[in-house]
Chains A and B, each alone.
Chain A
Amino acid sequence: MKKTHVALFLLLAALCSLPLFLPRFYTYIAAIVLLTALLATSLNLAIGYGGIYQFHHAVFYGIGAYGTALMLTRTPMPAALGLLVGPLVSALLSLVMGVICIRLSKLYFGMLQISLGSLVWATVYRWYSFTGGDDGIHGIPLPDRIATPDGAYYYTLAVTALCFFAMHRIVGSPFGKTLQGIRDNPVRSSAIGVHVKAHQLVALVIAGLFGGVAGSLFVVVNNSVFPDMMFWTFSLEVLIMCLLGGMYTFFGPLAGASILVLLRVFVSVYTQYWSLLLGAILTLVIIFLPDGVLGYAVRRFRPGEGRRA
């Protein structure tokens, strides 16, 4: 365990020092990678650890972002409150949607979530006077300290690190272990007295909360929000990040998110057939690396660790 702690500390130190020697653009990209990794990991709480078919996670990301954006642009409330309210709203939405969908399982759950999520998207998209409609909201004011590119980066790093720490604890807690037990065998869990639906609902709310936090970070880094953030195709992309990196490891989604964001930013400069490339890579990963890149790496270099469950 101690070795892991040292490794983590070194990683954190490296991340803290990035702005000192990287040009501004890379600092910006690093911030995007961090918040996307947070989003993917929050999804993984539901899908990797909970086995719940969370097909429209982007809704919570988008609502977190819009909640924050609206608080910052339309109310005189202090920014700190705005940044807090966004994720809370998405957690609430997650609860409401969860209660409606939880009666169903697997594919049906996923499809109903997509339907409800699409209704949310359509409302945001059409409610021009309140949400800016498909134009989005821009020029969102932030407190000076986090408005600068470096400030935004450090804020993102701090929040992301805290959230990762929190999620890691949750996953390792008795609640987390029960959740994984439910994922692997819901019937048996129920038989030994575990309230399956309640556990899943709590998992959904937590996933929604952290997804919303990722959304509020987007506001800090980009000063804009767009309804595209909660469109179903983006939800599938986040799902792909989890798959690519490995759904059954904690840092898998982080790896997947990093790969996807970096590839998109740097490779799409060279080719317009980015979708073809992404599709091909995914196909190869699904066929040959079913546990994702990180899952494969773990199995290869650390056999015996990180099995499913």
Chain B
Amino acid sequence: MKTTGAFLAGVVMVFCMAASGVAGDTIKVGLVDTYTGPATTFTNDVLDGFKLAVEKINAKGGVLGRKIEYVTRDDKFKPDIGLTMAKELILKENVDILMGTINSATALAVSDLCKKEKIPFLVTFSKSDKITGEKGHRYVFSMNENTEMVGRATATVLARKPYVKYWIAGDDYEYGHAIANGVFEHLKSMNPKVQLLGQSWWKVGETDFTPYITQILAAKPDFVIVATGGAGMVNFQKAAQSTGFHKRVPFYQHTAIELSTLMPQGPNAPEGVYGTANYLFYYPDTKENKAFADEFRKAYNRYPKSGALYGYLAAEFIAKSFEKAGKIDREKFIDAMEGMTLDSPVGKLEMRACDHQVLLPVFFGVTKKSPQYEFLVAGDIVSVPAKEYMPSCEEIVKARAR
């Protein structure tokens, strides 16, 4: 018993003596994200895109005479660890701004925390539409697309196509259902002729899709919406390639045309798969995009994926908002960022004031082989600008009032 007491007292003292971060003459940004496991293929891009922009900003003298410094914390894709790390960054490291995370549950929990602590939180990969939708508030901003946006944008393109009988399939978790429902519900409202023949849902991390594929083919739909996330993207495309699924029935996946999905498969990815993406390093073929991609490649020895854009946007918004605010004040920072537009590799982007969502264009395309690269790229690209698909401010206000 006494040993326990002594032990605990010792432990408490040791950790009390840990130094805490002291806010100095810098702008401190805290990044809480998943740096362990398969998600790192995405989150490393966010960090590297952020770092690239920050280095440039700091080289030009920083923001309001201060350099931007950043600290990272790994949440291991677990929301309770993410919450703890966020608290550590806010309470111990005294960061000015918080950024992160790829896990939507973590993002929502941290968003709630930031609302209480009154510190701005920039979401950089989580795709839950609740973040800037019904659970949105003054202190949270999103740098990336969400499932509602993807659903609407995709529906506008699919509504113009001749397909009628749809099948929905995907990873059995919130993201999968949100994407699939987002696409189909909006599709139906734009094109009432479409019908849903049936649905198939498999566990997240499923490795063998053959039984699902044979079952879907037996039902003979015109088109399949496949709502896979993360690792499921490549797994499903591999299964499609082996069974020739994509040749028998056209299908769509969000991020099917992205580098993260196509590069690991090399020249063997399936052609003719429909998909959407928010960043492609080769499109649009503008000076800004080429410059960004070349700089990224020089610094990190790989092509940038969508995460790089989000990280870059976060850095740019942070810098420009503080400059506009004129001082290091969180409330003025938020006021400055609302409605701000800035230049990005994909053109001029606006941070919409009513919901704190970056208005990104969505690129809809089809996978095809490329003479230039070892991997497949997107072809027949249709660019859907934000104003064509975003939910209106009234709808957002209504959702948040619930």
Binding site for B on A (CB under 8 A): 3-4, 7-8, 10-11, 14, 18, 22-26, 28-30, 32, 125-126, 128, 133-136, 138-139, 218, 222-224, 226, 228-229, 251, 254-255, 258-259, 262, 264-266, 268-269, 272, 274-275, 294, 297-298, 301-302
Whose C-beta in chain A lies nearest to the C-beta of B113?
A: A223
Known interface pairs A7-B5, A224-B109, A294-B3; 7 further A-B residue pairs with C-beta atoms within 8 A, sorted by A's residue number: A22-B16, A128-B174, A223-B112, A229-B80, A258-B8, A272-B74, A298-B3
Q: Which of A18, A126, A136 counts the most chain B CB atoms within 10 A?
A: A136
B interface SS class = helix
Partner of B1, one of A23, A28, A251: A251
A14: B residues at CB distance < 8 A: 9, 12
Min Cβ gap A40→B in Å is 14
B84-92, B209-217, B264-272, B291-299 - the one binding chain A: B84-92
CB pairs A–B below 8 angstroms (30 shown): A3-B2, A4-B1, A7-B5, A11-B5, A11-B9, A18-B12, A25-B20, A28-B87, A29-B15, A32-B84, A134-B104, A134-B105, A134-B174, A134-B175, A136-B108, A138-B112, A139-B135, A223-B112, A224-B83, A226-B109, A228-B79, A228-B80, A251-B1, A254-B4, A265-B84, A272-B35, A272-B74, A274-B76, A294-B4, A297-B3
Q: Is the CB of A7 within 8 A of B1?
A: yes
Q: Is the CB of B172 within 8 A of A25?
A: no
B92: A residues at CB distance < 8 A: 23, 25
Q: Report the Cα distance A54→B76, complex, angstroms.
A: 25
Q: Is the CB of B5 within 8 A of A138?
A: no
Give chain B's interface residue range (CB within 8 Å of chain A). Answer: 35 or more
Q: Is the CB of B7 within 8 A of A255?
A: yes
Q: Report the Cα distance A11→B12, complex, angstroms.
A: 11
Whose C-beta in chain B lies nearest to the C-beta of A4?
A: B1
Given the contacts A26-B15, A254-B4, A134 and B173 also touching, CB distance less than 8 Å: yes
Q: Report the Cα distance A272→B173, complex, angstroms.
A: 27
B18 within 8 A of A: yes
Interface string of B126-170 (1 = CB under 8 A from A): 001010000100000000000000000000000000000000000
Segment 1-35 of B: residues with Cβ below 8 Å from A: 1-5, 7-9, 11-12, 15-16, 18, 20, 35
B200 within 8 A of A: no
Min Cβ gap A254→B in Å is 7
Q: Report the Cα distance A30→B2, complex, angstroms.
A: 20
Q: Is the CB of B81 within 8 A of A135?
A: no
A268: B residues at CB distance < 8 A: 73-74
Min Cβ gap B21→A in Å is 11
Q: Is the CB of A133 within 8 A of B174?
A: yes
Interface string of B91-123 (1 = CB under 8 A from A): 110000000000011001101110100000000
Q: Is the CB of B177 within 8 A of A128?
A: yes
The 3 closest A-B pairs by CB, nearest first: A25-B91, A251-B4, A226-B79
B74: A residues at CB distance < 8 A: 268, 272, 274
Interface string of B301-321 (1 = CB under 8 A from A): 000000000000000000000
